[in-house]
A and B are shown apart, each in its own frame.
Chain A
Amino acid sequence: MKDRFANRKYFIMALAIAAAVILILRLFYIQIIDKTYRTSAANNVLRHITQYPARGLVYDRNGELIVYNQAAYDLLVVPVQTSAFDTARFNEILGISMKDFRDRMKAAVSYSRRAPSVFMKMISSETYGFLQEELYKFPGFYVQARTLRKYTRPVGAHLLGYVGEVDDKLIGQDKYYRSGDYIGVSGIEKSYEEHLRGRKGVNIFLVDVHNNIKGSYADGRFDTTSVPGTNLWSTIDLGLQEYGERLMRNKTGSIVAIEPSTGEILALVSSPSYDPSLLVGRVRSSNFIRLQADTVKPLFDRALMASYPPGSTFKMMNGLIGLEEGVIRPTSLFGCSMGYHAGSLTVGCHSHSSPLDLPGAVMNSCNAWFCNAFRSILENKGYNSIQEAYDRWREYLVAFGFGNKLGIDLPNELSGFIPTRSYYDRYYGKDRWKALTVISLAIGQGEIGATPLQMANMATVIANRGSFYIPHIVKKIGEEGGPSSVFSQKYTTGISAENFEPIIEGMEGAVNGGPGATARGARLDSIIICGKTGTAQNPHGKDHSIFVAFAPKDNPQIAIAVYVENAGFGSTFAAPIASLMIEEYLTGKMKRQYLEDYVLKVVIAPDGKEQ
C-alpha cells in the first residue's frame, strides 16, 4: 500500500529533536550561564536552632526562690558542613587536646554526617564569649543556648529532684523530646515536668557556606516560639527544710512536717543528703556515679521510700480503733506487771504505775494496755470471727493512709505494708490464727511497715481530729494557679472527733506530763506539743528512734514525724529533733542552744555506733 504520509516521519523526528534542544538550551542556561542558582543552593542549607525555654522557677511557701536557671551553651557540629580550619586555635578556645578533639569529632560523625550533634556540652559563658567572636572561622559549628538549674541553698535535693538528658527509650515514646533534651528525672522536676519544661520553639535559618546566618527561612513562617516553663510555689518552708537537714546531719533517717489544716508539706528531709547542684551540668554523670556507689545511699529518699515498723507510735491507732469500735473506753483500766502475759506468751514492758487508763497508757507507752485493747478489738463479739474483726481493723488503717500510697505529688512513693487477712491465712492456714498470734501489731511491731510520710500523715489526722488532705509539695502552679484539685479534697477516717481527745491527752502528757512521761525531752515552755515516741525494732542493728507529734495542741500548725535510724529509743534523738523543728517553725527562733548542740554533736554511723 502506498503510504502518502510517510514523509511526516521527518516532522515527527524533528519534534523529538526539538524537544531535546529546548531542554538542553534551558539546562545550559540554568546550569552554566545563570549563577544565581548556585548561590541559592549555598544559601539553602537550613539550620534548625531550637529555642530552649527556661525551666520554670521554684519558690518556697513564703515566696523565697529555691531553684532558678543559669545560662549554658552547647556547641554543636554538622560534620558535612565543616571544612579545613585552625584546629589548634579551636582547641585552645575550648581547652581540649587534639586527641580529645578527634574523639569528639569521631563521635559526631558516627552519630550522623548531616544531622547536628553535640560536640561539647554546657560550655561556660566565658568560653562562649571567646568562641562566638571567632565562630565564623569554624564552619559547621554553631552554638545553642541552654539553661541549667541553680539552687539558692544546698538543700532539698530529694524533693526538688534533678534534671537529666532524656534517654532513647523515652524519645521513642514521647514525641516532644529529641535527643539531647533535658527532662526532670526525680522529685518535683519529674512530677511537674510538663509544667516546668515549657514548650520548645525552633527558628529555621538559612546558612551559607561560611557559616553565616543569611536570614530567617521562609520569613519565619515555619518558626515556632518557645514558651517559658511555669513557675511553681512549693509548700516547703525553705528555712525549716534547711534547719531539718542541719539537725539530721551525720545521722540517717528523715523528717516529714505537714501543715495539718491543708496537707501542705513544710519540710521533707531525708538524710544523708547531697547538694542538689552536684547533679547539674557536665559534672552530673560523674557525681551521680559517685553518689550511687556511696554505701550510705544519699540518693535514696527515705521520707517516701523507707518502710519501717512504726513501733509504739502505732499504739494511738489501736487506741482510736478500740474507742470507735466501742470495745474500750478512755477510762478502761488494764494492769501491767512488767508486760503482757497470756499463757506462755509474754510481751515485755518497762516499769511504770499500774493500772493505767487510756491517756496514761499513751503517756507511759504501756505495752500491756495496748495488747489488751488490741485483743478486745479482734475478739469483738460483734463480728463472726477474729478475721472479720481484723478486716475492719485494717479498714481503719487504710482510711488513715496506711498500706497504700498516699498519692503525694512526688515520684517513687512507697505504699508501706499492712498485712491483709489472706496474708495471715497463707502463713498460718485459713482462719487458723487468733488475736494472740498477731499480738505484736498491738505495739506497732511485726509485719507492718509505714513510711515516714505516712506517719506524719497519721500525726496530721490526730491533729485534725479525724481528717486530712493528701500531703503535697506544690501549692501553686503558676502565678495565678492553685494546686492540683486532688489536694483540695478532704479525707475522713471514720473515727469520731471525740475519740481523739483521750489520745491527744495522752500525747500531751507524754511530752509535758510528770513521772512516766516518755518524751519530756521534747517539751517547750511556750507551746503545748503533743507527741508520742516509738522504737522500731531493727533486725540488722540498733533500733530506730521515732517520734510523731503535732503542735500546738489546739489549732495545730504543724504535724511531724521524725525517724533516726540506729539511734535507740524514740526519746533520745527523734523527740528533741521534732521539738527543735516545731520551735523553729512556730516561733522562728531557737532558744535551747544546749539541745541543739546535743543533737548536732552526735554522729551516728549507719551501723549504729555513736561517735
Chain B
Amino acid sequence: MEKNSNILNRLDWLTVILWGTMMIMGWLNIYAAVYNEEYTSIFDMSQRYGKQLLFIVAAVILAIFVLVTDNKLYYFFAWFIYGIFVFLLLMVLVIGKEINGAKAWFEFGPFGIQPSEFAKFATGLALASYLNSKRQALGFRTMATATSIIMAPVILIAVQPDMGSVITYFAFFIVLFREGMSIYVFISALLALILFLLTLIFGTVAVALGLIILSFAALWIFIRNSQVLTALGIMAGAGALSYLAGHYIFGAGLDLIIVSSVVLSGAIYAWYLYRYRLKMAVIIYSFLLGGILYLFTVDYAFHEVLKPHQQTRINIMLGMEDDPYGTGYNLNQSLISIGSGGFAGKGYLNGTQTKFKFVPEQSTDFIFCTVGEEWGFVGSVVVIGLFVLLLLRLVMLAERQRTTFVRAYGYGVFGLFLVHFFVNIGMTIGVMPVIGIPLPFFSYGGSSLWGFTILLFVFLRLDAGRAEYLG
C-alpha cells in the first residue's frame, strides 16, 4: 500500500490530465465525425463512438495496470519484450489478415490488433536498454548497433507493407541524437532528403548535371589554380568520349552516360590527389560520386519500390500533380473542411463537410478535419497546444532522469508522439504527404490508443520510480 500511494504521489499528474483530456476530445470528435440521426446516443455500442468509449475504458484499466507493475520489470524484460514483438511482426506476415493491401492485422473476432502499434513500445525499451549499457560517448559501432535495433522491426513492417508505420520509427533517431550521435549523420540525412525531393521535382539528369557543376565550382573555389582548368578539359573529354561510346556503341540513355562519365573522371581526381596532395579534391569527388549514385538509387526506389498511390501522394504534396477529384481528393476535401472552419469553427456537430462524408477515414486518420471544421482555428490551436505541452513536458521528464535507460526511453516516447502529431496533422492540411498514421489519443481505434497509452504510462511509471535507481 505504501508503495502504491508513493506512486500516486510521484506520478506526473499533468501528463495524466493531458492524456485524459485528449482522449475525451478525441471521443467527442469521433462522435461528430460519424454522427447520424439514426443513432444519436453517444453510448451506442453499434457505432464507432460507442466502441471508442469501450477502448478508452480499457485504456484506463491498462494505464492503472502499468502503474501498479514493478518498474524494474521493464528494465529487465526490455529485450524479452522486444523479442516477442519482433516475433509477432514475423507472425503477422504469415497468419495476419490483409486489410487495404497490408498484412498488418491479427484478427480476434470483430476486433483486429496491429502488432506494429505495440512494437514501437518494445523498440523504445530495447533501444533504451542498449544505450544504457554503453557508458562511453557513443561511437560509430554503438550507433550502428542501435540503428539495427530500430531497423529490424522497420524492415518487417516495410514488408507488410505499412509505409506509414515505417516512417514513425524514424522518431527513434531523436533518441540517438540526444545520446550523442554525430551531427553530421543528421546533416547528411537532411541533404539526402533535399536531394531526393529535388530529384523528384526536376528529374535525375538535371540534378546530376547540377551536382557536377557544383563540384567544379567547389574545386575552383578551394583549389584555384591552372590545374583545375586542365582537369575541366580532361573531364569534358572523358565525358564526351563516354557519351559517344555510350550513345553509339552501347546505345545507353543519358542517365547511364552521366554516371559513367563521373566514374571515369574519378581517375583525374585520383591523379590530383597523388600529384598535389589535395585532400579537398578527394572529398569533393566523393560527394559528387556519392550524390549521383544516390540520385539514381532514389529514382529507382521511387519508381520501382513505392506503389503508384504512394508516388502520387508525394507528387501531390510536392505540387507536381493537381487532381482534386482523383487521388488528391482526400487532401482536397480535408483542406476544404478544415479551411471552411474559419476562425471559430462551425460549432460542434455542425460541420457540413465531415457530416456529408466528403472526407474519407474521418474518424481515424482524418479526425483532425472534424476539429478544424467544427472548432475552427481556435480549437485547432488548442489541440496543437495540448500536444506541444505534452511534448515539452516529456522532454522535461526525460531530462530529470538519473539513468540513460529511462531518459532514452522518454525521448523515444517524445519522438513517436512528435512524428505522429506532426505527420498526421500535417497531412490533413497539406504540409506532409498523405501517410496513413493515427493522431495519438484522437483517432478512432483500440490498437493505437492502447499502444500510445502503454508507451506513455510505462514512461510515467519509470519516472515515478526514478528515486529507486541509484545508477
Chain A residues proximal to chain B, CB less than 8 Å:
1, 4-6, 8-9, 11-13, 15-17, 19-20, 22-24, 26-28, 30-32, 34, 36-38, 40-42, 44-46, 112-114, 218-219, 221
Per the bound structure, the CA–CA distance linking A40 and B343 in Å amounts to 16
CA distance A335 to B9 in the complex (A): 120
- Residue of B352, B381, B387 near A41 (CB, 8 A) is B352
CB of A41 within 8 A of CB of B372, answer: no
> Which of the residues B358, B421, B425 comes within 8 Å of A44, measured between beta carbons?
B358
Query: Would A41 and B177 count as touching, CB distance under 8 A?
Result: no
* Interchain CA distance A325-B385 in the complex, whole Å: 101
Give the docked Cα–Cα distance between A344 and B342 (Å): 103
30 pairs of residues in contact across A and B, judged by CB atoms under 8 Å: A8-B177, A9-B395, A12-B178, A13-B395, A15-B418, A16-B392, A17-B388, A20-B385, A20-B388, A22-B422, A22-B431, A23-B426, A27-B377, A27-B381, A27-B429, A30-B430, A31-B339, A31-B342, A32-B342, A32-B343, A32-B377, A37-B335, A38-B340, A42-B340, A44-B352, A44-B358, A112-B37, A114-B37, A114-B355, A218-B325
Give the residue of B37, B180, B355, B392 whose beta carbon is less than 8 angstroms from that of A13: B392
The yes or no answer to B330 lying at the interface (CB within 8 A) is no
Q: Is B179 an interface residue (CB 8 A)?
A: yes
Contacts of B342 in A (CB 8 A): 31-32, 38
Contact (Cβ within 8 A) A37 B339: yes
A47 vs B276: C-alpha distance when bound (angstroms): 77
**A32 / chain B contacts, CB cutoff of 8 Å:** 342-343, 377
The A contact surface, by secondary structure, is: helix
Are A16 and B137 also in contact (CB < 8 A) when A9-B399, A23-B426 are?
no
**For residue B421, which residues in chain A have a CB less than 8 angstroms away from its CB?**
19
Given contacts A26-B430, A31-B376, contact A19 B422 (CB under 8 A): yes
Counting contact residues on chain B (CB < 8 A from A), the size range is 35 or more
Question: Please, which residue of chain B has its CB at the minimum distance from the CB of A30?
Answer: B339
Which residues of B (34-62) have their CB < 8 Å from a CB of A? 36-37
Known: A27-B384, A114-B36. 14 other contacts (CB 8 A): A9-B178, A17-B388, A19-B421, A20-B388, A22-B431, A23-B429, A26-B430, A27-B429, A30-B430, A31-B341, A31-B343, A32-B343, A37-B336, A40-B336
With contact pairs A1-B135, A16-B395 given, residues A27 and B178 touching in the complex (Cβ less than 8 Å): no
A30 close to B391 (CB less than 8 A): no
Closest to A22 in B: B431
Bound-state CA distance A221–B324 (Å) is: 13
Bound together, the chains give a CA A404 to CA B179 distance in angstroms of 91
Most buried by A among B180, B325, B339, B418: B339
**A23 near B422: Cβ-Cβ < 8 Å:** yes
Roughly how many angstroms separate A17 CA and B414 CA in the complex, as a whole number? 13
Task: From known contacts A23-B426, A37-B338, infer whether A46 and B343 are also in contact, taking CB-CB under 8 Å.
Answer: no
Query: Counting CB contacts under 8 A, is B411 at the interface?
Result: yes
Q: Which A residue's beta carbon lies closest to that of B385? A: A20
Say yes or no: is B337 at the interface (Cβ < 8 Å to chain A).
Answer: yes
Interface status of B353 (Cβ within 8 A of chain A): yes
Tell me the complex Cα distance, A253–B380, Å.
Answer: 77
Which chain B residue shows the least CB distance to A20?
Answer: B388
Contact of A46 among B336, B339, B356 (CB under 8 A): B356
Q: How far is the CA of A132 from the CA of B450 in the complex (A)?
A: 56
Q: Which residue of B lies closest to A10 (CB)?
A: B395
CA distance A37 to B353 in the complex (A): 11
Q: Does B174 contact A (CB under 8 A)?
A: yes
A30 in contact with B325 (CB, 8 Å): no
The reply to whether A12 and B411 form a contact with Cβ atoms under 8 Å apart is yes
